[in-house]
Amino acid sequence: MNYLKLMNELQQCFKSKCEDKEDLKLCVYQNCQVQKKIYKLRIKIIKDRIKLYKIKFSPNVEKKYKLLIEFKLNDNNFLQFEELLIFIENYINKQINIKIKKFIKLFQDYINCANDKCKDLTYDVLKIEKLKKDKVSVFNIKNDKKRNEVIKNTYSNENQVKLDKCVTNKCNKISLDYINEAIKQFNNKIKTFNLKIPIVPKLTKLSEDDIPEIIIKINQVARYIDKHIGYL
């Protein structure tokens, strides 16, 4: 199930059936079947994140989680269900942020270094509208072959290659550490969900000669994983 698609459906249902109602939440629950699909998807995402990040609960949170999973929804208690759902989601998100703290820090360092030491080339790439559109479009392309081709063309663009080579040269250690941490995240997802792609080997070094191939490969793997398990 595509979360954004379901949310668009919910928005349309709200506008057509509930926009002028006094009790908006009750109206949506009673009249928009897509709301129940969204609940199910959010529960699935919670379970997948617990599995992927090996989330542990305190006894009190464990009790609330079990209550959530076993909950029997009806018109009178759906708000209680939503409160439980939001509580568990927030708890899990906080735990995930702790677990991926290193990745977030490396990503920030990578972007800051690129903006600092390859500023003009970064600006040149940002000016190319087609590149921006293509980078966004790959998130919605389901066909692997077509998506991989768009990624390959995007990161083979002359200006993009100049930028990536500059960052690789002037932010080498940061780039290597960031890519390897991303690979670690990829491999965890591949193993956890038995995805049908090979484990990505860790890089021992990174040079301009590896560009654009390594950037293409990393983005192709990332979007393949997103397609199969969503944005966990």
Residue 204 burial (CB count, 10 A): 7
Label residue 131 by pLDDT band (50, 70, 90).
very high
Residue 134 burial (CB count, 10 A): 17
At 24 the pLDDT is 86
Q: Tens digits of per-residue pLDDT, 52-108?
A: 999 999 999 999 999 999 999 888 898 999 999 999 999 999 999 999 999 999 999
At 2 the pLDDT is 77
Place of tokens 């479009």: 137
Chain CA centroid to CA 41, Å: 15
Using CA atoms, how far apart are residues 78 and 212, in angstroms rounded to an integer? Answer: 50
Residue 42 burial (CB count, 10 A): 17
At 71 the pLDDT is 92
At 194 the pLDDT is 97
The residue ranges of every structural domain in the chain are: 3-99, 101-229
pTM: 0.89
Using CA atoms, how far apart are residues 153 and 151, in angstroms rounded to an integer? Answer: 6
Nearest CA to 89 out of 32, 139, 145, 50 is that of 50
Q: Tens digits of per-residue pLDDT, 152-180?
A: 999 999 999 999 999 999 999 999 999 99
Q: Tens digits of per-residue pLDDT, 3-44?
A: 888 888 999 998 889 888 888 888 998 999 999 999 999 999
188 in Cβ contact with 52 (< 8 Å): yes
At 168 the pLDDT is 98
First-to-final CA distance of the chain: 14
**pLDDT reading at 1 higher than 80:** no
Lowest-pLDDT range of 29-33, 51-55, 146-150, 207-211: 29-33
Q: Tens digits of per-residue pLDDT, 90-102?
A: 999 999 999 999 9
153 in Cβ contact with 134 (< 8 Å): yes
Query: Residue 212: is the preceding peptide bond cis (ω within 30°)?
Result: yes
